[in-house]
Amino acid sequence: FMLVREGNKIRFRLNKSLGFFGGLATCMPKDTHKLMNRFMVFILGGPVASLVFALLMGLALYVSKADVTQVEGFLTDFFFKSSLLVSGGIFLTSIIPMQSAGFYSDGARVLQLLRGGAEAKINTTLMTTMAQLMAGTRPSQLNTALLEEAIALPIQSFFKSYCHYYLYLAYFDANELSKADVHLENALTYKEQLPKFYPALLYLEKAFFVAVTERNALAARTYFTQAKRSNLIPKHTFLKAEAAVLWAENKPEEAHERAQKALTTLKKSNEQGAAAFEKEWLEKITNSVIGLPHQIRHS
């Protein structure tokens, strides 16, 4: 089972993804006040909770002194021991600094922030950007200079891909299409280092961008088919891209249907600033008022 925030509501959902078993938490800040300190507290919350629970299970095991020769005692002993081992194991694996498949352990993230430097600067920039989008800031109003500075830092980091992605959104919303395209392409250059789901999100954005700005149906469909579905990608992102591709393929009725579904699911987005930008494009598709590329640029 899982708890999911949808807009301003918390929903109880059945977990249908094997990737989420074992525990997963994501959280977006609503503002940038003392962001670094709050981020560290959030990161440490998981390992500390696992450690506390393991200690409680150890204490309960010691106090209970269950008689394992009896069924009740055996089950009690088994529950306390297994809970102790699982929680203790989760604490150790999360607190030890390491990286795997584009993800950092909690210990590694905290260590990065404590060390400061370029890596911490990029992390802080990304958290600030996400906080602004959650607060309702339009992509075009983001601090692009801050994101550009993060990209220019003299280190190799796949987190720069996320900076490029936000710059793509910012310039796309600002109608600076050439810059937007460059940053989306740059974001994709990190695809081998990124978490498996993230390149799919970028391909979906590329499909959408090519469809609505160039009406290149073949290229848009090619990018769309390269995107593998994942529960980690918002549903409206798939629907938005598919609607744009269908529009480029001159299938207005199907495009209208997908766009309407995308608008419905878009209401659940936590990034309200980006959602406002996407909503405008989806409404253009549903109202069939998207023109040729030169009309799009001046709409």
Element (H, E) at 13: strand 9-13
Helix H or strand E encompassing 99: strand 99-100
User: What is the CA 156 to chain-centroid distance, rounded?
Assistant: 21
Based on the fold, state whether residues 137 and 268 are members of the same structural domain.
Answer: yes
- 95: Cα separation from own chain's centroid: 22
The H helix count followed by the E strand count for the chain is 13, 4
Last residue of a domain, one of 56, 85, 112: 112
Residues 107 and 179 grouped into a single domain? no
Separation CA 151–CA 163 (nearest Å): 7
Indicate if 237 and 291 belong to the same structural domain.
Answer: yes
CB-neighbour burial class of residue 225 (10 A; exposed 0-12, middle 13-18, buried 19+): exposed
Residue 18 lies inside a defined structural domain of this protein:
no
Domain of residue 201: give its range: 118-297
User: Which domain-ending residue is among 51, 77, 112?
Assistant: 112
CA gap 222, 19 in Å, rounded: 27
Helix (H) or strand (E) holding 121: helix 117-134
Going by C-alpha positions, the residue among 139, 130, 233 that lies closest to residue 180 is: 139
- 186 and 239 co-located in one domain: yes
**Per-residue pLDDT tens digits of the chain, which is 299 residues long:** 566 655 566 776 666 554 455 555 556 556 666 767 777 887 888 899 999 999 999 999 888 887 777 888 888 889 999 999 999 999 998 898 887 666 678 888 888 788 778 888 898 898 889 888 888 899 999 999 999 999 999 999 999 999 999 999 999 999 999 999 999 999 999 999 888 889 999 999 999 999 999 999 999 999 999 999 888 898 999 999 999 999 999 998 999 999 999 999 998 887 888 999 999 999 998 887 554 443 443 33
Domain termination site, one of 112, 135, 166:
112
Q: Which residues pair with 103 in a beta bridge?
A: 100
Residue 7 domain-assigned (yes or no): no
pLDDT for 32-78, tens place per residue? 667 677 778 878 888 999 999 999 999 998 888 877 778 888 888 89
55 and 198 belong to one structural domain? no
Count of all residues that appear for the chain in the document? 299
What predicted TM-score, i.e. pTM, was given to this entire model? 0.72
Q: Is residue 194 part of a domain?
A: yes
Which phi-psi region, left, alpha or beta, contains residue 3 (left: φ > 0; alpha: ψ -120 to 50)?
beta
CATH number at residue 233: 1.25.40.10
Those residues whose C-beta lies under 8 Å from the C-beta of residue 293, and which sit 6 or more positions away, are 213, 214, 215
Same domain, 265 and 293: yes
Domain match, 147 and 240 both: yes
Same domain, yes or no, for 125 and 246?
yes
| Residue 192: inside a domain | yes
Question: How many folded domains does the chain comprise?
Answer: 2
Rounded alpha-carbon distances, angstroms, from residue 152 to 91, 132, 164, 222, 237: 35, 21, 11, 31, 29
Q: Are residues 192 and 215 in the same domain?
A: yes
Inside any domain, residue 22: no
75 part of a folded domain = yes
Helix (H) or strand (E) holding 12: strand 9-13
* Domain match, 78 and 53 both: yes
